[in-house]
Every structure is written in C-alpha cells, then in structure tokens.
Chain A
C-alpha cells in the first residue's frame, strides 16, 4: 500500500515535469545555497586551520604597543623589548617552551648581478621550532653562528630570485653593507591565507642583525612557543603578568604590549566565513519558506484538479487517511526531489568554488542528511493543509465535480 502510494506520487509528479520542477525551485535554491555555503565554509575553515598550522599552532607573538601585530608596531614611541626580556620569559615561565627575539627590516639582497628586495629577520635557531620551519638544504644556526657570525638562511622565493636553479649553499650574498654566507635553505610553505608569500624571507642570527643591520640591541618582537598541553589562556596570562612586571606597569594601567595568538587569527578568519554562512542560511530559510508555499499552492491546485479522482477513490473504498497520505506523500516526494536536486546543484557550486578559491572540497554528510530532512519537513508542513482538504472532500460532491 505504501509502495503504491509512492508510485502514485511519482506518477503524478512526472505527469507534469515542468510544473513540478518550477514548483520545487524554491526548495532547490534554498538547499543548494546551504549546501554550497557549508561545503565552501568547511573548505575555507580547513584551509585556515592548515595555514595556521604552517604558521605554528602553538605560537604566540609578543609585540610592543597596543594593537595588531605587523610591521611598524615595533617602532615609534613604544618601548621596545630587550634580549633580557626574552631570557626572563624562558627562565621564569613554565608555560613557555621557547622564546626567540625577532626583528625585521625590508632590505635588498644582492648576489652577483641579481638583486631582490626581501624581508630580513634577525632571530635564533629556536625560531625554526616556533614558526615550524624546516630546512630543505644546509643547516640551522649553531651557537657559534649566534655569537654574531655573518651567515644566513634563505626562503625558497629568495633562492629562486637570486640563484635560479643554482645551489646557493656556501655562496655569499650581500645584505645592506654586510656580506653573509648562505648556510641553509627553508622548505617552501607557499602563500598564506592572506595571500602573502611566506617564503619571501632571509633569516640571520639575531646578534648579527642587531650589530650589523639595526645598530641597536632592541628586540622588535618576541616569538613564543607554548609548552604542549598548556592552554593558550594560561600562556597569554603568564606572559602578560611577567611583562607587566618587567615593564613596571601599575595595576589599573593598560598593557603597553600585545600578545597575539593563532587562535585569534584563525577565529578572525573563520569569523568572516561564519558571518557569510549565517547570511546565506537566512537566504536559504526564506527560500525554503517560499518553496514550501509554492508546494502548498500547487498541491491545492492539484487537489482541485483531481477532485473527481478523489471521489472515485473514496467510492471504491479509500479512507480519509489514505487520501490524506496520498497527497502528503506526493508533497513530500516533490520537495525531497527538490532537495536532492538542490544538494546536487550545491555540491556542484561548491566543487567549482573550491577550485576557484583554491581551497579543499569537503562535503559534509551531516549537512546533506539535514538538507534531506529539511526538504521532507517542508513537504510535510506545507503539504498537510492541501492533503487534509483532499481527505475532507465529500465523495458524492467530488464525484459530481
């Protein structure tokens, strides 16, 4: 009996395929929008997470002044850090495993006839751990390098710009007025979420940078790595307390430094996609509502058109509940078909979007099941009223129609 009801529903829907399709267009659009957005949202979240990992998931960044991290925040009237601050953090805070100073300038690197503007960072070997850099060739800084030797490690982009395919190891490049030997090459990370080239950098020992390039021992930023298992909140709190003490900030006064976490970064990025997802969900909800009303409308038309059929069915012994079920199933099948088309369409959009945005394509089975459930619910809610109207018909009146 139920199988017969389904068969009947399909027959009724296929009798007028164009009308049926137009009827469910609202559901199709609503479901497609949700599926596309959630799938693209998943992809970009995964992308951000992956990016944050290449950046160093356990990483904190301490910069002077109030505000965002980035170039320029270390200069101006704000009080810079010193190497002693770095040492105190490592010595006194159990939540912090590694702390390294970093100071960065934009400089022109020269090799032979090639010259290339890049960012030169003075730091120590701990930085490789904090920022999760690995070497594709050569070696990291030794203790002896870190006493102020003129050595450097190049990012993949810099190698390509200055050396092309040639082997840079052992060659000397010139940075400003110092000549330094290339001792290592960093494994390429590619572009970040912001689109910046992460491989466009040169690392030199911090002391070398301080003496030969900056001419001061000021530390413009401190990169920190939390110990495994320590919560970000605790680490941030520890660093904040210690720095306030070192920098003698009175209680009640604001910090004159900022601790940035990767969590802030990723939540900022995923926050954007959450807003988008929310907006599109609203669009989808409206479109499902419109779709549901469309289904209700066409089912009412269908009940009127088929009044005589309903009368015949009742005459041969169909009970009200069976007539109700027939029209309800038809509405549900209609809207679930719409949902299925919407899912396919949404997946298609998401797959194309993933390619265009260069993010992974991650279909979510949960949301697909939810979309099916939602379209079935739309069918039930908006199909019930017309189905009840059909079931309440008087057989004699209906036959006379």
Chain B
C-alpha cells in the first residue's frame, strides 16, 4: 500500500476536459481528482455520457486535459505534446478496447508484436516476448491465426496480450467485455484478475456491468464528469 516517500503511480488533480466552445461547450470531465497506486485494479462505472471514456483517454495520454494536473510517477504529464505522449504510451501504458482493435490480415503474433516494433526491439526479442504474452492469455496455440479466425473472446485475449507485451505499468481497458456474452466476459475478467493478482499489473477498467466491476478491488462511480463515489468493492474489502 502507498508509502509517503514514493509519489503515487497516477495522481489527477482537478482535471477538466471541455469539448466545443461557447453554447456548445460540454464538460466531459468537470474537476476529477484521484490517486491510483501501483498494483490496483480499478473499475470505473457511471451512466452513459458521464465521462468514463474521456477519463480513460486522459489517463492513457491519448487525450490532453483542458485544465488540471496529471502526475504520472510524480512527473507532470498534463502538458506533454503529441510525440511525448506517444512515447509515454509506448513505454508505460497498454490499451484494451471494446472492439478489440486488432489489425486484420495480421496474425495474433504480429498483432502482439506491434507495440514492440515501435519500441525498436529486435525480431527475435519480439517473437519471444509476444510468445510469452500469448501464453499468459492462454492463446499460445493460436499465435499464427488471423483475428478473423478467432472468436470474440479469443480476439480480446490477443488484445490483452498486445497490451501486456510492452511490459506496461498500467493497462487501460474501455469496456473490454462490452462485445462479449456473460460466459466469455467472465473468462476475460478472470484473466484480468489473475494478471492483477499474480503479476501485480495495475488495471483501470471502464465497464457498464456491475458484475464485471466486482472483479476489481476499487470502484469509481462517475456522474456528469465528476467522481461521485470512490470505494472498495466486496473483493477489495475482503
């Protein structure tokens, strides 16, 4: 648990994200303040349009807050430029999307290798890392299959392997089970839970389903761009 000497992994202070101008102004994030420590498994819930995806994009440095402070490992990253944010994503962050977002006509292996290419890793290192990542998600046997030859659950596992391959400090997942039925959703959640528990992977996940949120240890409830409640789940409290 947090020690006072070390800065938290993620610290947001009074973050806002405003879309549009004047009459059309939308405050997607309206003063969000929160801390997330290494090793946490956080679920974000809330009604549609409450700013969950926006928050995840800001946390993932895909987007920039309109105002407020964002410290990552104690470093201010709120004002990084495009290329600096790309480097941060490359080296510290992994993403899992609702629609999997795998590259078609590329094997599972090649998809998992993708972030490693941008890390400038040699081919043999990449293959080894990708193999390990695919093994962790239980898809070692499907390394050479194209996404089109895989089920939705398997595709999402490949996406998780891709997020893991670069050895990130945080994995950000936006509705990772949104396209899956309950049985497959549970498989994916169990996988994420295992990665969090066994590997100490920090996970921040947006979900609409209470059932899935219960796999996390902490639940943040958002309404109208604000954090309405922030508490431990049953599992977190246990």
Seen from chain A, the residues whose Cβ lies within 8 Å of a Cβ on chain B are: 1, 4, 11, 15, 308-309, 311-322, 395-396, 399
Whether B70 sits at the interface, judged by CB under 8 Å, is no
Is A15's CB under 8 angstroms from B89's CB? Answer: no
Is B167 part of the contact surface with A, judged by Cβ < 8 Å?
no
Q: Are B114 and A312 in contact (CB under 8 A)?
A: yes
Q: B228 to chain A: closest CB distance in Å?
A: 24
Question: Which residue from A11, A309, A317 sits with its C-beta under 8 Å from B118?
Answer: A317
- The smallest beta-carbon distance between A6 and chain B, in angstroms, is 13
Q: Which 10 A-B pairs have the closest CB atoms?
A: A317-B90, A316-B115, A319-B86, A317-B118, A319-B83, A317-B89, A315-B95, A395-B62, A312-B101, A4-B117
Interface residues of B in 93-152 (CB under 8 A from A): 95, 97, 101-103, 105, 114-115, 117-120
Closest chain B residue to A316 by CB distance?
B115
Q: In the complex, are the beta carbons of B63 and A396 less than 8 A apart? A: yes
Compute how far the CA of A318 lies from the CA of B118 in the bound complex, rounded to whole angstroms.
Answer: 6
- Chain A residue numbers with a CB within 8 Å of B103 are 309, 312
Known interface pairs A313-B114, A315-B95, A319-B83; A396-B62 also in contact (CB < 8 Å): yes
B62–A315 contact, CB under 8 A?
Answer: yes
Residue B57 CB within 8 A of the other chain: yes
- Which single residue of chain B is at the shortest CB-CB distance from A15? B105
- The 25 sampled A-B contact pairs (Cβ below 8 Å) are A4-B117, A11-B105, A15-B105, A309-B103, A311-B101, A312-B102, A313-B114, A313-B118, A315-B62, A315-B89, A315-B95, A316-B114, A316-B115, A316-B118, A316-B166, A317-B87, A317-B90, A317-B115, A319-B86, A319-B87, A322-B118, A395-B62, A396-B57, A396-B62, A399-B62
Inter-chain CA distance A315–B62, complex, in Å, is: 7
- B residues 36-65 in Cβ contact with A at 8 Å: 57, 60, 62-63
Distance in angstroms between the alpha carbons of A7 and B151 in the assembled complex:
28
Chain A min CB distance to B110 (Å): 10
B218 contacts the other chain (Cβ, under 8 Å)? no
Nearest residue (CB) in B for A1 is B120
Q: Is B62 a contact of A317 with CB atoms below 8 Å?
A: no
- Say whether B66 faces chain A, with CB atoms less than 8 Å apart: no
CA distance A319 to B162 in the complex (A): 18
**Which chain A residues lie closer than 8 Å to B13 at the CB level?**
none
Chain A interface, >50% SS class: helix
Q: Are B83 and A321 in contact (CB under 8 A)?
A: yes
| Shortest distance from the beta carbon of A206 to any chain B beta carbon, whole Å | 84
In the complex, what's the smallest C-beta–C-beta distance from A295 to chain B, in angstroms?
22
Q: Which chain B residues (161-176) contact chain A, with CB distance < 8 Å?
A: 162, 166
- Additional A-B contacts beyond A317-B119, A318-B118, A319-B83 (13; CB < 8 A): A4-B117, A15-B105, A309-B103, A311-B101, A312-B102, A312-B114, A315-B101, A316-B118, A317-B115, A319-B118, A320-B86, A395-B62, A396-B57
With CB as the reference atom, state the residue of chain B lying closest to A11.
Answer: B105
A4 to B106, CA, bound (A): 14
Judge whether B33 is part of the interface by a CB distance below 8 angstroms: no
- How far apart are A170's CB and chain B's nearest CB, in angstroms? 85
Of B87, B91, B118, most A-chain CB atoms within 10 Å: B118
**Residues in B whose Cβ lies below 8 Å from that of A322:** 118
Q: How far is the CA of A395 from the CA of B57 in the complex (A)?
A: 10
Per the bound structure, the CA–CA distance linking A106 and B211 in Å amounts to 113
Q: Give the chain A neighbours of B105 by CB distance below 8 A.
A: 11, 15
Smallest beta-carbon distance A217→chain B, Å: 91
- Provide the bound-state CA to CA distance between A61 and B119, in Å: 76
B114 contacts which chain A residues (CB < 8 A)?
Answer: 312-313, 316
Contact of B82 with A by CB under 8 A = yes
Which residue of B82, B83, B95 contacts A316 across the interface (Cβ within 8 Å)? B95
